[in-house]
Structure 1
């Protein structure tokens, strides 16, 4: 009995699971997004449930597209997701909408953003469902997309339905599903079928209700649908079923041969040609073409008609679209296990050759070659190397595996061995396993490459910003200890050493390393290394807070780099630091102009690293100039570092501190908790610079919890230099530091705050922000009202409204004893300013203080709205208006000079404040508001 004939029209035994999925799909039909995962072992019914889900989606007017991942997909970047979206009988999207793929290593970054925009636009026209079956085999890019896109598009009517077997915790899809599960994922776990469902399926297939013996045989399937159907089909196949009195039964409870016999015995019952075909086909994969099978068997395709027909009749093969496939993975696995391991490897190697001959990419056969090739196999060695080079930027772990396997296959004097070692060393570092990477690099490079080439590979590792700067410093020092490296190579490493010491926060060591590098470069004149050293010297000046000198050095270096044709990523970084100096010298407009231009240029040139760098800096600028909610929206969901697997750059550390401080002022306890979790990971895994960032974050989160003792603890428990000033920094940090010092009576912290601010004033040209910070710190510590008023005025002039409110609050508190009325009036002004800024935590503190002072008449300003249109910030209101008009996130972003990520953050806040769940609800509210306004206008005219 063919599988297509027994598949029952009714869906049996999974009604609760299907109802749950249908509920989610109805939400999607109503205009909101949903992410669902279906889990269970092989043969438990995931594929059938997805088919039913797609049928439900079709009834609800949701366009569904799906794909079944293949084992070889894991090596091809984004292959599974792109197939789900662009392939099939009725593709969800047109490939014409997708820009040509940009060059590595930013391909995934921009491809995800392109897909986000295309999906959003398509789903706003008609709700979509994206179904991925057998997701345990998806590639790393698809796993990343399934992690990011459902959250980015959570407010767009798209259903993401992912079916997967249990996967190892280290696999990309396992990490994705764990991540989604903590963020409103709908999880459906398939358990064994209930007894009633077993009876119903038996009745469907047998044509009558099962009798006692058939029930006993069915029970042996343990509720697994695949094994149950195999049992029932086997009984039909052997013509043992008898229907009497409306009951279908068998005379004896012996399992049918197709279930009781091992696959080897089942295969033995086939004709010789069918037996050979099914064994060979198992090495081609789950799905394969008739032509590939004929080529591997080295026979005309016409000779396969009879054996393939026999295998279709035996339910070993099925036809899917234009290809043949095994009925189930269980079937294919059983066929493979029926063949000795040595024969299986030989067939796999032969199959890989066939696939390569017909044009398969190296990454598509890499896993197969890795498991089947013998030492000295030239095709396997070169193919695995090509595959490693292809995926090193997007799936470093797989690249490392391919490289190591190629190294195992390559003889000791093989001409490609050096390149294999180089690629593998880089891949291991990029994969984040520093200990393993260092061990491999130290042994393999020394055994394989000449000294100069080893130094070159180590220089490449030293330039990998995605790995810890401490690891980069260590690899540079090993290169410098190599005997006989050339002067240009030594100079390049010395310049890189000074730079990496700086970004780790080892300022003293960087300062000592720079002169030696400069002397070496005077001899070699390497322009690239000279540029790196110029950046380092400018950075040292910045870290020492000599801002005017640093500004000049950064400006000159950028000019020299442009003249030399240096890559724009480095130039953009230099320009960003120039913008930093503009902000320190009260030039807000110039700083924001550089930030906007940087984001726009990075987007135009498709530079992912630069784009994210400028976005994080833009958030820091927003916070610096009082746009707290905008800063929080940009940074929301930006950093995912809780597991400690990702290296944190200095700019990331500064962005995380901004995220923590914005959360503190806004009273966002959830984000404060998250910031504390990230900070603790940074404290354990970070460089000295990031440990200081982490300590500052933990101090801020403690202040947000009103635990000043804990804040003091985090600021004083690190060895080495004090937490402030940070790198990169904010010149007003010491205001928070002084507040902690006063609250805890810590004179050491007080002296640090005062000393930093005084030194900053002395070594820099006049700056309102720098001088006002010094005045505030001294005024707070010495209870000097003149200084506090000067701070108020200074912050007003340099447009730092949050700091202006802090100074007003401090002055008000100081004046209370001598002039109660003036003091309370100043506190009332501070309350108004905090409320206007959205600094809810500060506003609550001042409001409570005023209550304690007996000020009850509306407490100077009314309580801020927390729900409805009145609760929205200006940015949220602008986003809400444009979205209600039907614009996509990308279109809104272009109009408001924001990123789609920031628009998405604002939109989630809009939905929360309005108590809605979708854009449909927003459009209705906007229409109702317009109708109400029109009605009021008409009533006024009458």
Structure 2
């Protein structure tokens, strides 16, 4: 109970301090929630709204106590009452015995990664009642967890690992009693903490936790406002008081001139009104809040005034000894000044010894801005020097150096660069700010360092997902290198083109690379890299002939004069181009050349040529070497964690999904897709998110989670510039394809055909030959469902033609399965069984376990239709076993239903969609199902739950799948039957 007592006591002390300032407004709290609304009616509409907000906070506490994380966000202008409302929330939570942790963001700590998270969680993580042994990701962030030497290997692209560890730590903190995390002033939040908040809102902690957030409306990052207005977050805006309410708050007659004067300056802001009303001289009305605070500071003794200004420079919260040193005071004078600041309530104590904070962040800001500008420069310099003597991390010193250093200050430049490099992996946005600051100090005449630091800045921006600015910085660096034979110019050009490709600026990338290939001699260092990038770009643009031709040029040049690593890189890129173009024999030969180098090389030898593994793994996917692809991509990810923290890892994570799905490791594939989806949120680039959603949709489809598959595919289509037609090695013909597949399985055949018909012409003809058999099969199945056997036969014949042109088992097996489905629909069940068996045999030669299981299921259905009950039962049991082992629950349940129809008992290894399905519904799905039972329409359900109709439709797809129902009436009957039972 140590945490609960500490939290409750601290919350009570802070609320008591708040009571000393608040005046009549506190009546609403002290009267209790039950009487708050009645009393608020006397204070006008805005006060009523505040009472409602308090009721909302109490409801959020109740929701969290139910066992699942709740979230609430307070927003409004500065001083509107957000902090007071949060203090009341903390008091209510503490009175209930909840654990309460809190922190407030600070404008001058925006440099410090995870500053808000550390302030809130570190005292508790390091306490005896904390979370126990900590993973390396947490030890590298939280001081109380005493990181060991070497730190964590978590890279910038994998901040999701840190988020996951923090999420787990929060869950452990809430094991004994509900936990309330209060984070205030998030409009000043550091980038890393903001990403953590987004991650917690996207994937809530599965524990009794309330996350309470507050920020200034209109000043907060768009990402924060969007995250807090998403479904699942209770958004509580605070409105200004009317002039009558202000008068009631200040106990002044509404017609008094002083009320009108105060209201004119600050509007209905209760904090500012109360601050101004409590001035020693109530007749003096300042021009604004900054002037008001400046007057408070001016009333202090000189030593206390100097200490206040120094504390504002030192940080929030500030260490007393640091503020005293910055002020240039003796310890005795400094402590006397501190007592005066505490007595005037300008600063307050915190839980940490010798650590103090201003009464409110705006007070600190006012004190800071009220200090002379020249004095502030010198004070930041003293703060930087003092922190450096104390051995502080470079990232903690950086904001002071940025404010105080002059151009050409080599020590400052070195520190900023060190701060950027130290924070690049964990907080690339912070690293970018440090590199930016260093650039401003490096003389313009120092071209070499201007280029080098821009390279670091571009890496940080790319890792943070700011690809647009990364491109601009790379272009600036390129312009600083007029000598096009300079290896740095070539490297920067290829890197810029890669960023442009990810930005969807394929034409710009192609023009840049073509121009570079014309300028750079073929024997120049890096020339092969330009050709490789051109070849890969052509693959993404689906210009397969150009991809193969350019890749061949790259390999020929590398063989003539390149290193072994360059030869391997070119061979891997060419193998990928040939594989997707259907030139299987050549692709296999070039793959072996790349494999020979890669498997013999150390990770250090592959540095600078790491793309060889990426292109090789994709080639191996298409050449049906799935285990080898996984081995190479796993090696690549491990190498990148050690040597290149700025490399975007989302594409590498997604590369694993395709082979995992094919090998039948669906649960693992779904986990990878979910992690990639979360990681894609960090950078903010919609293309990575669209790609992640595309793979997430496929993983969900294979597992039988059709509602999730449809929702992910629809969101991917919304974000994709090409919803039909992809822009990556795994994009196929785009998210429309996976959406159509999921819709077919969901029974929405007409909508599926509407999506598929535009694909049946040039889109499929221009698609990768190795994937076209899948597309033709999807089209054939859609037409069979629609009763158009002739068109289905035409599509099946196209699948067979494409498969015959390729020496690959997967297209051949898929085409055979399509033919089997056609034969079964035509009434030739025995032939269908033979064709499905041939399909399974073909697919089994490459270990495509899930595809084999699908073909076996079709074979069993065909055998049953042919009247061969014994054989059908044998095959269906094998299929059901494999589907269950793979994790394809919907298809497994279909096999179980076939077995029951044949009078056989299936092996029940996991919950099916029809057996015990009601218990498998989530809380939201059960709620919607019960409203369906009450005969409400989707529109009525959406209105009642304050959700979109599309969200209701998505949840209902999951309900239908889990209950094995095909209509709303059937859902209602199942729920009614459960109650009767």
**In structure 2, how many angstroms separate the alpha carbons of the residues matched to 1:127 and 1:432?**
35
TM-score (norm 2): 0.69
| Corresponding residue SS for 1:145 | helix
Whether the aligned pair in 2 keeps the contact of 1:425 and 1:441 (CA below 8 Å) is yes
**In structure 2, how many angstroms separate the alpha carbons of the residues matched to 1:419 and 1:776?**
56
**In structure 1, how many angstroms separate the alpha carbons of the residues matched to 2:636 and 2:466?**
33
Whether the aligned pair in 1 keeps the contact of 2:442 and 2:450 (CA below 8 Å) is yes
**In structure 2, how many angstroms separate the alpha carbons of the residues matched to 1:419 and 1:600?**
28
For residue 6 of structure 1, what is the aligned residue in structure 2? Answer: 20
Query: Where in structure 2 are the equivalents of 1:172-187 lying within 5 Å?
Result: 174-179=222-227, 181-187=229-235
Query: Where in structure 2 are the equivalents of 1:303-322 lying within 5 Å?
Result: 303-320=333-350, 321=352, 322=354
1:464-493 per-residue CA deviation (whole Å, 9 max, x = no partner) reads 799458476666545545556963322343
Whether the aligned pair in 2 keeps the contact of 1:68 and 1:135 (CA below 8 Å) is yes
For residue 236 of structure 2, what is the aligned residue in structure 1? Answer: 188
Whether the aligned pair in 2 keeps the contact of 1:699 and 1:715 (CA below 8 Å) is no
For residue 455 of structure 1, what is the aligned residue in structure 2? Answer: 490
For residue 278 of structure 2, what is the aligned residue in structure 1? Answer: 233
Is 1:788 the equivalent of 2:788? no
How many residues end up aligned between the 2 structures?
830
Residue from 144, 153, 157 that aligns with 1:102: 153
Deviation at 1:667? 4.1
**In structure 2, how many angstroms separate the alpha carbons of the residues matched to 1:42 and 1:517?**
59
For residue 934 of structure 1, what is the aligned residue in structure 2? Answer: none
Is 1:442 the equivalent of 2:475? yes
Is 1:523 the equivalent of 2:568? no
Deviation at 1:565? 0.8
Is 1:736 the equivalent of 2:766? no
1:526-551 per-residue CA deviation (whole Å, 9 max, x = no partner) reads 12222212222332343234567756
> Residues 630 and 280 from structure 1, CA distance in 2 versus in 1: closer, same or farther, beyond 3 angstroms?
closer
1:849-897 per-residue CA deviation (whole Å, 9 max, x = no partner) reads x9xxxxx999x99x97558368769xxxxxxxxxxxxxxxxxxxxxxxx
> Residues 510 and 443 from structure 1, CA distance in 2 versus in 1: closer, same or farther, beyond 3 angstroms?
same
For residue 132 of structure 1, what is the aligned residue in structure 2? Answer: 183
**In structure 2, how many angstroms separate the alpha carbons of the residues matched to 1:43 and 1:709?**
56
Whether the aligned pair in 2 keeps the contact of 1:653 and 1:693 (CA below 8 Å) is no
For residue 508 of structure 1, what is the aligned residue in structure 2? Answer: 545
Residue from 747, 750, 754 that aligns with 2:797: 754
> Residues 675 and 186 from structure 1, CA distance in 2 versus in 1: closer, same or farther, beyond 3 angstroms?
same
Whether the aligned pair in 2 keeps the contact of 1:737 and 1:749 (CA below 8 Å) is yes
**In structure 2, how many angstroms separate the alpha carbons of the residues matched to 1:89 and 1:872?**
34
For residue 396 of structure 2, what is the aligned residue in structure 1? Answer: 364
Deviation at 1:373? 4.7
Whether the aligned pair in 1 keeps the contact of 2:170 and 2:205 (CA below 8 Å) is no
**In structure 2, how many angstroms separate the alpha carbons of the residues matched to 1:118 and 1:324?**
27
**In structure 2, how many angstroms separate the alpha carbons of the residues matched to 1:466 and 1:109?**
24
> Residues 113 and 260 from structure 1, CA distance in 2 versus in 1: closer, same or farther, beyond 3 angstroms?
closer
> Residues 691 and 373 from structure 1, CA distance in 2 versus in 1: closer, same or farther, beyond 3 angstroms?
farther
Is 1:284 the equivalent of 2:314? yes
1:487-515 per-residue CA deviation (whole Å, 9 max, x = no partner) reads 33223433444344435543222211122
| Corresponding residue SS for 1:102 | coil
Residue from 409, 412, 428 that aligns with 2:441: 409
> Residues 181 and 834 from structure 1, CA distance in 2 versus in 1: closer, same or farther, beyond 3 angstroms?
farther
Query: Where in structure 2 are the equivalents of 1:479-518 lying within 5 Å?
Result: 479-483=516-520, 487-518=524-555
Is 1:293 the equivalent of 2:323? yes
| Gapped regions of structure 2 (runs ≥ 5) | 1-15, 31-35, 37-49, 137-150, 922-956, 964-981
| Gapped regions of structure 1 (runs ≥ 5) | 203-208, 241-252, 586-590, 851-855, 874-907, 915-942
TM-score (norm 1): 0.72
| Corresponding residue SS for 2:734 | helix
**In structure 2, how many angstroms separate the alpha carbons of the residues matched to 1:702 and 1:913?**
16
Is 1:26 the equivalent of 2:62? yes
**In structure 1, how many angstroms separate the alpha carbons of the residues matched to 2:654 and 2:461?**
28
Deviation at 1:682? 2.3
**In structure 2, how many angstroms separate the alpha carbons of the residues matched to 1:261 and 1:122?**
43
1:881-923 per-residue CA deviation (whole Å, 9 max, x = no partner) reads xxxxxxxxxxxxxxxxxxxxxxxxxxx999x979xxxxxxxxx
**In structure 1, how many angstroms separate the alpha carbons of the residues matched to 2:798 and 2:326?**
78
| Corresponding residue SS for 1:36 | strand
Query: Where in structure 2 are the equivalents of 1:705-784 lying within 5 Å?
Result: 705-706=748-749, 707-715=751-759, 722-723=766-767, 725=769, 729=771, 732-740=774-782, 754-764=797-807, 767=809, 770-778=811-819
Deviation at 1:361? 3.5
| Corresponding residue SS for 2:733 | helix
- Which region of structure 1 is more displaced relative to structure 2, 148-157 or 134-143? 148-157
Whether the aligned pair in 2 keeps the contact of 1:715 and 1:723 (CA below 8 Å) is no
For residue 693 of structure 1, what is the aligned residue in structure 2? Answer: 734
**In structure 2, how many angstroms separate the alpha carbons of the residues matched to 1:226 and 1:776?**
71
For residue 452 of structure 2, what is the aligned residue in structure 1? Answer: 419
Query: Where in structure 2 are the equivalents of 1:107-256 lying within 5 Å?
Result: 108-166=159-217, 168=219, 171=221, 174-179=222-227, 181-192=229-240, 217=259, 220=263, 222-234=267-279, 237-238=280-281, 255=285
For residue 323 of structure 1, what is the aligned residue in structure 2? Answer: 355
> Residues 492 and 812 from structure 1, CA distance in 2 versus in 1: closer, same or farther, beyond 3 angstroms?
same
> Residues 629 and 520 from structure 1, CA distance in 2 versus in 1: closer, same or farther, beyond 3 angstroms?
closer
**In structure 1, how many angstroms separate the alpha carbons of the residues matched to 2:639 and 2:471?**
37
> Residues 733 and 40 from structure 1, CA distance in 2 versus in 1: closer, same or farther, beyond 3 angstroms?
same
Deviation at 1:563? 1.4
> Residues 324 and 775 from structure 1, CA distance in 2 versus in 1: closer, same or farther, beyond 3 angstroms?
closer
Deviation at 1:66? 2.1
For residue 147 of structure 2, what is the aligned residue in structure 1? Answer: none
Is 1:539 the equivalent of 2:576? yes
**In structure 2, how many angstroms separate the alpha carbons of the residues matched to 1:231 and 1:337?**
18
Whether the aligned pair in 2 keeps the contact of 1:428 and 1:434 (CA below 8 Å) is yes
RMSD: 5.4
1:653-699 per-residue CA deviation (whole Å, 9 max, x = no partner) reads 87256247448x6542x641441231242234963654733343454
| Corresponding residue SS for 1:164 | strand
**In structure 2, how many angstroms separate the alpha carbons of the residues matched to 1:159 and 1:867?**
34
**In structure 1, how many angstroms separate the alpha carbons of the residues matched to 2:675 and 2:156?**
22
Whether the aligned pair in 2 keeps the contact of 1:708 and 1:740 (CA below 8 Å) is yes
Whether the aligned pair in 2 keeps the contact of 1:468 and 1:687 (CA below 8 Å) is no
> Residues 54 and 32 from structure 1, CA distance in 2 versus in 1: closer, same or farther, beyond 3 angstroms?
same
For residue 42 of structure 1, what is the aligned residue in structure 2? Answer: 78
Whether the aligned pair in 2 keeps the contact of 1:199 and 1:210 (CA below 8 Å) is yes
Whether the aligned pair in 2 keeps the contact of 1:659 and 1:675 (CA below 8 Å) is no
For residue 683 of structure 1, what is the aligned residue in structure 2? Answer: 721
For residue 658 of structure 1, what is the aligned residue in structure 2? Answer: 698
Whether the aligned pair in 1 keeps the contact of 2:696 and 2:712 (CA below 8 Å) is no
For residue 934 of structure 2, what is the aligned residue in structure 1? Answer: none
For residue 881 of structure 1, what is the aligned residue in structure 2? Answer: none
**In structure 2, how many angstroms separate the alpha carbons of the residues matched to 1:447 and 1:599?**
37
Deviation at 1:277? 4.0
> Residues 332 and 396 from structure 1, CA distance in 2 versus in 1: closer, same or farther, beyond 3 angstroms?
same
Deviation at 1:788? 3.4
Whether the aligned pair in 2 keeps the contact of 1:42 and 1:329 (CA below 8 Å) is no
**In structure 1, how many angstroms separate the alpha carbons of the residues matched to 2:80 and 2:237?**
10
| Corresponding residue SS for 2:79 | coil
1:326-347 per-residue CA deviation (whole Å, 9 max, x = no partner) reads 3223223333444565665565
Deviation at 1:184? 0.8
> Residues 473 and 109 from structure 1, CA distance in 2 versus in 1: closer, same or farther, beyond 3 angstroms?
farther
For residue 916 of structure 2, what is the aligned residue in structure 1? Answer: 868
| Corresponding residue SS for 1:130 | strand
